Amino acid sequence: MKNFIIESYENSKEEDRLTTNNARRIEFITTTRIFDELFENKMKVLDCAAGTGVYAFYLANKGHEVTATDITPRHIEIIEQKLKNKKYYMNTSILDATDMKIYEDESFDIVLNMGPLYHLITEDLRQKCISESLRVLKKGGLLVTSYIPRYYVFQHIAMSDRRYVDMKLAKQLIDTGVLKHDDENCFWTDTYYSSMDEMEELYIRNGLKIIEHFAQDGMSPLLRERIDALSAAQFEVWCNYHYSICREKSVLGASNHVIIVGKK
Ligand SMILES: C[S@@+](CC[C@H](N)C(=O)[O-])C[C@H]1O[C@@H](n2cnc3c(N)ncnc32)[C@H](O)[C@@H]1O
């Protein structure tokens, strides 16, 4: 059966997402700053939606033992290509995060689930993905999940492309959080937009102790032209400002991407 999520990623350039301008780079800067605070030395990390490896390589360069998997074959090919220039080894695999049976129970200290959840449009599949992530995670390990806030996304889409300034689309996103690849006004692919409360409930229901919940990038992608016009020194101020407010509840709901971290 055709997978529309894979098709979407095979036809986009994920490798450019966090590197091409400062409005995007802030997500990586904030996230790695918090990873550095949270992760102890030499952890066994599974990055189960590694994309083209931006976080997997960051962590491997710091000495963590990283396994990078993803559902999109092109992404794993790019990671394998990059690995040829590295002195360390990284396990890689094409894998759907709802079925990680190739890994044994309690194999990893950290599971990064930064991608699958916002592409799973049924509750059943989202639970499967969380259950699998928790199964392969050691007791005391950390589950890191990223999501896209439901009440923010319409602003981003409508301001990026006026064709989507449409009340039916806005209402659908607010009411259901679901966008399907064959929806009349589909601006991406099968996606699910969540909320702070819903993510905290999901974590608590799964027995996780929430230890972090932060906005990765805030409204920076929405303010792209202005952020990219800042000088290097001004951008540093902007990043430090964002970091200082990134755990505020009001900011979590108005961010392009958010991360929740829980301890098993
Ligand atoms: C926007 S990218 C994020 C990549 C990287 N984790 C990051 O945060 O920059 C989302 C990734 O999730 C992957 N993905 C989507 N659904 C998945 C699934 N069910 N299992 C594994 N990977 C999935 C996509 O192929 C893509 O590489």
pLDDT in tens, the chain (264 residues): 679 999 999 988 877 777 778 888 999 999 999 999 999 989 999 999 999 999 999 999 999 999 999 999 999 999 999 999 999 999 999 999 999 999 999 999 999 999 999 999 999 999 999 999 999 999 999 999 999 999 999 999 999 999 999 999 999 999 999 999 999 999 999 999 999 999 999 999 999 999 999 999 999 999 999 999 999 999 999 999 999 999 999 999 999 999 999 999
Burial class of residue 26 (count of CB atoms within 10 Å of its CB; 0-12, 13-18, 19+): buried
pLDDT, position 23: 83
* pLDDT value, residue 19: 75
Which residue's CA is the closest to the ligand 1 atom numbered 14? 116
d(CA 89, CA 73): 19
Q: What is the pLDDT of residue 12?
A: 84
Distance between Cα 124 and ligand 1 center (Å): 18
Residue 107 has a pLDDT of 98
The whole domain housing 120 covers: 2-263
Could you tell me the maximum CA-CA distance found in the chain, to the nearest angstrom? 52
Ligand 1 center–CA 225 separation, angstroms = 26
Residue 82 CA: distances (Å) to CA of 13, 30, 44, 168, 215: 15, 24, 20, 43, 29
- Is residue 138 within 8 Å of residue 107, measured between CB atoms? yes
Q: How high is the pLDDT of residue 126?
A: 98
Whole-number pLDDT of residue 232: 96
| DSSP secondary structure letter of residue 149 | B
C-alpha distance from residue 50 to each of 14, 16, 72, 127 (Å): 10, 14, 10, 20
For residue 204, how far is its CA from the centre of ligand 1 (angstroms)? 23
Write the residue with the smallest CA distance to atom 11 of ligand 1.
115
Structural tokens at position 245: 């407010």
Placement of tokens 């589950």 in the chain: 143
Total structural domains in the chain? 1
C-alpha 149 – ligand 1 centre gap (Å): 17
**Ligand 1 closest atom vs CA 31:** 8
Q: Ligand 1 centroid vs 231 CA: distance in angstroms?
A: 32
How many angstroms does the Cα of residue 180 sit away from the middle of ligand 1?
Answer: 17
Give ligand 1 pocket residues (Cβ under 6 A).
5, 9, 14, 18, 48-51, 54-55, 70-72, 75, 96-98, 114-116, 119
> Tell me, what CATH number does 241's domain have?
3.40.50.150
| Best residue for ligand 1 mutational test, from 25, 29, 31, 71 (most atoms within 8 Å of Cβ) | 71
Whole-number pLDDT of residue 65? 98
